[in-house]
Chain A
Amino acid sequence: MPDGPAVVLLYDDTFEGLLSAVFQSYSFHPAPETVESGSLCQQKLGCRYVEAIPSEEQAERVIAGIRKTMGWAAYEKVWTAFQSAFEDKGDAVYQYIRIGMRVGRGIHQKITDPRVMRVDKICALVGREAGMFRQFIRFSKRAGGVYYAPISPEHQVLPMLMPHFCSRFSIQPFMIHDKTHNQAGIWDAKDWYITSAEGLLPPEAAEDDRAYQRMWKSFYDTIAIRERINPVCRRNHMPKKYWKDLTEMQWKNEDPYQESRIPLPSELSAQMVKGLSQGGISQSPGLGSLERMIGEE
């Protein structure tokens, strides 16, 4: 079909569907301009839209092709890019595979090619977010001994988090609740799986949990060296968007314990502490929490 309108392939938002679309793109000459998500795509005039038919067999052949021609690392990139939340990820993956199939393993040296850079960038962002959650996930102990952690990631990082935490907490059942994508990753101390979190009600908090949360918060506040306070550095390493679910960043001002814990032990003499504990520790002067001392960032 020479010189007809540019073809746009639509895929059905699944990984299998996207790879099938890539497969089917090879039957068009010239090659389709792009691959877009069928549900997000706003059709424009002057393009011909063709829905790709999802096929398990075709997807598997594409996967095998990528692994053989471009190498395992390339397949991993394709998969990771697909976990991202970018609307044009279909196009990114499509362009990447098309040139990869032509240049083979040389793709890994073409790090300044815009199509390769685009996929690298997406993967880096997804990987970065997964890394952040490896650091900043906070579990709380729930009734029945299950550990529960809510997260709100931008990208679908659950499949990247589960292996890490399952290996680490091998004898401890837990659940990571991805509120953005409404999914839950569950580890029952034997297998893990990801399931829809529709109607998920996490069990009640275990009795002793609050005590450990407070101890952690107290440790966190104590360990900072006042003479070195550096909000910029903290925010850089621990961006504010993660604070919402961080145990140590909660109860800034409303926790009564906060008021009482203000003078650090090293600022008190042993004599003063004796006096304090006799008078009840909550009576000590409220100097304002460390947070307030730094000022609202």
Chain B
Amino acid sequence: MDMMDKLRILADSAKYDAACTSSGVDRGGRAGMLGSAVGCGICHSFAADGRCISLLKVLMTNSCVFDCQYCVNRCSNDIPRATFTPEELACLTMEFYRRNYIEGLFLSSGVLKNPDYAMERMCRVLELLRHTYHFNGYIHAKAIPGCSPELVDKLGLLCDRMSVNIELPSEKSLTQLAPDKKKDSILKPMRAVRDRISQNKQDLAVYRHAPAFAPGGQSTQMIIGATPETDYQIMRLSAGLYKNYGLKRVFYSAYIPVGTHALLPKDQPPPLLREHRLYQTDWLLRFYGFQVEELLDEVHPSLDPLLDPKCNWALNHLDQFPVEINRADKETLLRVPGIGLKSAQRILQARRAGSLGFDDLKKIGVVLKRAVYFIVCRGRMYDGTRMTQSFIYQNLTADVRRHPGDLPLFPAVRQLSWQDLPDLRPGREDTIKCLTGQL
């Protein structure tokens, strides 16, 4: 089998992994080495599905002794198999990197023979890259559940970011669909990575030249829509992962029907809009100071398909609005729909030079279309707006409601769930954003 065929098979097997970011490490070029890393990451291309291609995302091998039902590479699936030798993969990475095709390598692997054996081969690739080819670019490596802690340690010293995939958002689903994986075999390496990272931080504080352990942090991924967990359960899990495991990112991946197991959905389009809403919620937790319980709870466990989670929250907390743009503090500004991290910063900056009106906000980059219902400038509301739930709701969802009349209107919509709206498509704005990509 030639390299071209191997590459096709192993990229095809790796494509369902959502993470392709190269962020979190800022590292200039080094003498005698090839490569650098940029803190915010660089996307080098965008595939036909609109997702960013930053790293060469391949599997070391797609031969796997495990039988996870949601995965194309499960041993019971009849697909062509291939395996890179460490030399082949290291060389390919370098050649791609030299041509500015990629930021680096995203390496994971099927379980060839057993977890430790597969991990050792991954380490070999990384050693070749780092020590033989003097590669100084970005490497993301995915540890294999059930591998020994020494190998986690070894891998972490060679790569920039490490991940262990949670795969499914609950233990029950995991037991049903991934017979070879135990909750513990996933969480153990995650804990090991967390502890090593925090220990490494102390080492670095004492001794600047201590070798860095996964300086880009740890991330994970879970599959959305393959199993019955609610958005509330999923976001609670994410919040826990951020808090207790110090994760940099949790990725959500809409399930593409590749399995045949009776419990898995079949012939159903991937829940892209739901995935998008989960990313938006994830963003609110990490950067906007929201708690999961403010956005979702037992009674309202699903995110609203029609409204982004921040608008939805604001609509249900009208008592906290309107906000005076010229006086509100940053935390309050961040909670206004249509005001993002950048525009909040710019408002603070600009109002030092004089008080701001609606025109100024527009210039600053505030999305007035969403913000006007929730703000006042110099004590005045925008002409023609009314602060009632139904008025705001009608206006905010005007361009999403393709077929008005078909959909139940406010306030019943708060209880809508994904099952009620099987073929709702994302609105234009949501389509072009496609959060999985760059961020």
A interface residues with partner B (beta carbon < 8 Å)? 106, 108-112, 117, 134-141, 147, 149, 165-172, 212, 214-216, 218-234, 236-238, 246-248, 257, 261, 264-266, 268-271, 273, 277, 281, 290-291, 294
Contact = CB atoms under 8 A, between A and B. Distances in A.
B51 to A, nearest CB: 7
A215 B99 contact: no
5 contacts: A108-B349, A111-B350, A111-B353, A165-B100, A222-B12
B42 interface: yes
A220 B31 CA distance: 31
Nearest to A272: B80
Contact of B4 (A168, A169, A214, A270): A214
Contacts of B349: 108-109, 111
Contacts of A291: 48
A215 B92 contact: yes
B272 A216 contact: no
B222 interface: no
A225 B256 CA distance: 9
B54 to A, nearest CB: 9
Contacts of A167: 28-29, 36
A interface: dominant SS: helix
A170 B49 contact: no
A218 B49 contact: no
9 A-B pairs with least C-beta separation: A233-B50, A167-B29, A230-B50, A224-B47, A109-B353, A228-B49, A224-B48, A273-B80, A233-B434
Contact of B45 (A117, A147, A220): A220
B11 A139 contact: no
Contact of A135 (B11, B44, B346, B434): B44
A220 B57 CA distance: 10
Given A109-B350, A218-B4, A223-B57, A139 B98 contact: yes
Given A237-B438, A265-B9, A290 B48 contact: yes
A281 B9 CA distance: 14
B50 A112 contact: no
B89 interface: no
A223 B50 contact: no
Contact of B437 (A233, A265, A294): A233
**Max chain B Cβ within 10 angstroms of own Cβ: one of A171, A232, A290:** A171
B169 to A, nearest CB: 20
Nearest to A131: B42
Contact of A270 (B79, B134, B432, B433): B79
Contacts of A264: 8, 12
B360 A218 contact: no
B78 interface: yes
Contact of A215 (B4, B47, B352, B363): B4
Given A237-B437, A238-B45, A223 B11 contact: yes
Contacts of B428: 232
B191 interface: no
A193 B14 CA distance: 41
A119 to B, nearest CB: 14
Nearest to B80: A273
B99 A265 contact: no
Contacts of A290: 48
B161 to A, nearest CB: 19
A138 B97 CA distance: 10
A212 B102 CA distance: 13
B43 A212 contact: no
A169 B137 CA distance: 10
Contacts of B285: none
Contacts of A136: 44-45
Contact of B33 (A171, A215, A266, A270): A171
Interface string B125-152: 0000000001001000000000000000
A265 B199 CA distance: 43
Given A228-B272, A291-B48, A233 B432 contact: yes
A232 B96 CA distance: 27
B33 A170 contact: yes
Contacts of A265: 8-9, 12-13, 79-80
B79 A266 contact: yes
A261 B335 CA distance: 49
Nearest to A167: B29
A231 B432 CA distance: 9
Interface in B343-393: 346, 349-350, 352-353, 356, 359-360, 363-364
B422 interface: no
Given A168-B36, A215-B7, A222-B15, A232 B101 contact: no
**Max chain B Cβ within 10 angstroms of own Cβ: one of A237, A270, A290:** A237
**Max chain B Cβ within 10 angstroms of own Cβ: one of A220, A234, A247:** A234
Contacts of B46: 233-234, 237-238
A215 B33 CA distance: 25
A166 B225 CA distance: 45
Nearest to A147: B98
Interface string B239-278: 0000000000000001010100000000001101000000
